[in-house]
Amino acid sequence: MTYFEIMNIKIIYPKWQKLLYETEFNLPPHSPLCFAAALDKTINVSFCDENVEQIDFSEDADLVAISAMLTCQMPRGWEIADRYRQEGKTVIFGGIATTLHGKETLEHADAIFLGEAEGRFHKVIDDFKQGRLKKVYDHRLDFPDTDCIGEARRDLLKKELYKFRGIQMLDLVHTARGCKFDCFTCCTPYLGGGKFRPRPLDKVISEMENIDNNRMFITDNSMAQDEEWQKKLFKAMVPLKKKWVSHPISDSHEITELAAKAGCWFIYQGIVDTSDYIRNRIRRYKENGIGVKGAVIIGLDNHDEDYIKRLVDFLLEVELDVAEFTILTPFLHTPIRAQLEKEGRILHNDWSKYTAGNVVFKPAKMTVESLEKMNEYAWKTFYKDCSKELKMAKLYMQVFDREKKDGTYKNVTLSPDRNWKNSENRKLVSEQ
Ligand code: B12
Ligand code: SF4
């Protein structure tokens, strides 16, 4: 192996299968851009998100780095790697899904990197340059100080590819890592160490300021982990006038009001039941002018057909703004995986089907077919009177209104020539 000072890394984010009934949209990826930020400045980086563009296999690269976030990206990631390796290229894998699927990935990789990259990847580069790349770099329980997290390399994105009907998609950013909760569907505590790890506030605010987009998705697992932190963060965000969406914040009037002042536009709220807790949460958000997108999981052990019908009625009754129905999926390293494995209820490990849109386990109170049917029922019934596109457009209208009020409204290019499908949609466009 020759020793080369300047090297080229090509980062690839493999394509994955979107949910069947979901309107197809592509947010700009975040993990590969955070990985790129952890690389030495002397390294030339190119980036391909296969969800929005084709991979140019002929492009020269000293090292191909495959970044995989979702389990259902892995089989495609492996295919891509096999092809590069047949052509004699060196391939390394990293990202959340690699960390979950390390062992299988070894068959398709020259090296795998498990865990977070900041302050840890230069060793890999040194080894590679000296021709002694190791098969496994395991940094799972070796968490970098959050002070080392650099600004995501958004300069690597081809921004024009991330538009929906002419509107620029949100930019992703994170303010903390880790999660102290232990939800039964989730692998995050396994990945992030079961501890809330906020980034330094000044760095977060400066990164947000530098984002050339007024609308952001704060991808933190759950900001509801530390009330004092949320107060500080939201107060510091007010002057930025950004509009943002996130996973749940703390369920208190003070925090919700502060989040709204800081530009919170809608919350992505997990929902699995029809409890008063959920009803009140949705009400609290809405009273503060914050919309709610439900991440609704169906197929839990207490769900039968009747329960799912009542759940959909409930969501309509509480006027949930938008719903994304997913089927319970036993991803590796989650409590639900351990339970279903113990009970012998896992049907298969065809990871390409682990999209949260397929039934991959034996439901307790339904057949596989009836759960699939109820998934279709949930999507179609919730959106019967108002399409997903239109409900989403209404949420956007709210953000346009808020931006018009504080003078940050710009770059809205919703227009009748953008294939809006029906007259209802056109009416919304003409109201602009
Ligand atoms: C953003 C996000 C999304 C976005 C993705 C946008 C996009 N274009 O990529 C959207 C909203 C589309 C999404 C969808 C889904 N998501 Co999601 N998502 C996340 C989330 C919140 C953040 C990921 C992130 O940006 N992390 C921040 C970065 C900094 O961390 P990182 O990825 O670990 O990156 C570091 C290292 O991994 C490493 N690294 C990264 N790449 C590489 C590459 C190399 C070569 C190396 C060496 C290192 C390396 O360096 C980075 C810096 O240290 C995570 C949870 C979380 N907070 O991590 C869930 C998560 C990844 N999603 C999850 C799930 C379940 C889903 C869904 C399947 C279901 C759902 N609705 O939630 C859907 C997809 C449905 C479908 N079929 O379309 C699960 C993963 C389950 C799994 N095993 O597949 C997670 C972990 C959430 C959870 N609570 O369980 N998601
Ligand atoms: S679902 Fe969210 S809150 Fe629950 S453990 Fe996972 S990241 Fe934490």
pLDDT digits (tens, 9 = 90+) for 195-217: 999 999 999 999 999 999 999 99
Kindly state the percentage of the chain with pLDDT values over 70.
94
Q: Tens of pLDDT along 113-138?
A: 999 999 999 999 999 999 999 999 99
Give the residue, out of 22, 69, 293, with the most ligand 1 atoms within 8 A of its beta carbon, to mutate for a pocket test: 69
Q: Is residue 428 part of a domain?
A: no
Residue 420 pLDDT > 50: no
- Kindly give the distance from the C-alpha atom of residue 421 to the centroid of ligand 2, in angstroms, as a whole number: 36
Q: Is residue 180 part of a domain?
A: yes
Q: Tens of pLDDT along 16-55?
A: 999 999 998 899 999 999 999 999 999 999 999 999 999 9
pLDDT at res. 279: 98
- Residue 140's pLDDT band (cuts 50, 70, 90): very high
Same domain assignment for residues 109 and 243: no
Q: Is residue 423 part of a domain?
A: no
Q: Which of 100, 115, 140 is the last residue of a domain?
A: 140
Q: Is residue 149 part of a domain?
A: no
Answer yes or no: is the C-beta of 95 below 6 A from any ligand 1 atom. Answer: yes
- Kindly give the distance from the C-alpha atom of residue 11 to the centroid of ligand 1, in angstroms, as a whole number: 16
Give the residue, out of 67, 70, 183, with the most ligand 1 atoms within 8 A of its beta carbon, to mutate for a pocket test: 70
Same domain assignment for residues 128 and 160: no
Whole-model pTM?
0.95
| Structural domain for 240, as ranges | 155-406
Answer yes or no: is the C-beta of 175 below 6 A from any ligand 1 atom. Answer: no
Mean pLDDT of 401-419: 71
Same domain assignment for residues 122 and 184: no
Q: Is residue 413 part of a domain?
A: no
Residue 429 pLDDT > 90: no
* Distances 140 to 31, 56, 95, 143, 290 between C-alpha atoms, Å: 16, 32, 11, 7, 36
The region of weakest confidence among 22-26, 32-36, 87-91, 97-101 is 22-26
Same domain assignment for residues 168 and 299: yes
Same domain assignment for residues 197 and 164: yes
- Kindly give the distance from the C-alpha atom of residue 8 to the centroid of ligand 2, in angstroms, as a whole number: 36
Give the chain's domain count: 2
Residue 418 pLDDT > 80: no
Q: Is residue 417 part of a domain?
A: no
Q: Tens of pLDDT along 294-307?
A: 999 999 999 999 99
Same domain assignment for residues 162 and 122: no
Answer yes or no: is the C-beta of 149 below 6 A from any ligand 1 atom. Answer: no
- Kindly give the distance from the C-alpha atom of residue 70 to the centroid of ligand 1, in angstroms, as a whole number: 6
Q: Is residue 113 part of a domain?
A: yes
- Kindly give the distance from the C-alpha atom of residue 53 to the centroid of ligand 2, in angstroms, as a whole number: 31
Q: Describe the chain by its helix, strand, coil percentages, rounded to 5.
A: 40, 15, 45
* Distances 293 to 188, 282, 300 between C-alpha atoms, Å: 21, 10, 20
Same domain assignment for residues 96 and 165: no
pLDDT at res. 4: 59
Same domain assignment for residues 54 and 88: yes
CATH number of the CATH domain containing 298? 3.80.30
Same domain assignment for residues 188 and 331: yes
Residue 407 burial by Cβ neighbours in a 10 Å radius (0-12, 13-18, 19+): exposed
Residue 148 pLDDT > 80: yes
Q: What is the DSSP letter of 106?
A: G
Considering every ligand atom shown, identify the ligand nearest to the alpha carbon of residue 90 and give its number.
1
CATH number of the CATH domain containing 113? 3.40.50.280
Q: Tens of pLDDT along 336-377?
A: 999 999 999 999 999 999 999 999 999 999 999 999 999 999
Q: Which atom of ligand 1 is nearest to the CA of 18?
A: 78
pLDDT at res. 38: 98
Tokens 């039964």 belong to 184
Same domain assignment for residues 82 and 36: yes
Give the residue, out of 186, 220, 271, with the most ligand 2 atoms within 8 A of its beta carbon, to mutate for a pocket test: 186
Q: Which atom of ligand 1 is nearest to the CA of 32?
A: 41
Same domain assignment for residues 317 and 353: yes
Answer yes or no: is the C-beta of 346 below 6 A from any ligand 1 atom. Answer: no
Answer yes or no: is the C-beta of 102 below 6 A from any ligand 2 atom. Answer: no
pLDDT at res. 423: 36
- Residue 188's pLDDT band (cuts 50, 70, 90): confident
Q: Which of 92, 114, 140 is the last residue of a domain?
A: 140
Answer yes or no: is the C-beta of 186 below 6 A from any ligand 2 atom. Answer: yes
pLDDT at res. 101: 98
Answer yes or no: is the C-beta of 182 below 6 A from any ligand 2 atom. Answer: yes
The continuous run of DSSP H or E covering 8 comes out as strand 8-13
Contact 308, 366 (CB under 8 A): no
**Own/partner pairs, 274-279, CB within 8 angstroms, 24+ separation:** 274/310, 274/311, 274/314, 278/318, 279/314, 279/318
Answer yes or no: is the C-beta of 194 below 6 A from any ligand 2 atom. Answer: no
Answer yes or no: is the C-beta of 196 below 6 A from any ligand 1 atom. Answer: no
Q: Considering only CA atoms, which of 24, 26, 400 is closest in space to residue 214?
A: 400
Answer yes or no: is the C-beta of 295 below 6 A from any ligand 2 atom. Answer: no
Answer yes or no: is the C-beta of 183 below 6 A from any ligand 2 atom. Answer: yes
pLDDT at res. 421: 39
Q: Is residue 349 part of a domain?
A: yes
Alpha carbon nearest to ligand 1 atom 12, residue: 27
- Residue 257's pLDDT band (cuts 50, 70, 90): very high
Same domain assignment for residues 198 and 228: yes
Answer yes or no: is the C-beta of 351 below 6 A from any ligand 1 atom. Answer: no
Contact 264, 244 (CB under 8 A): yes
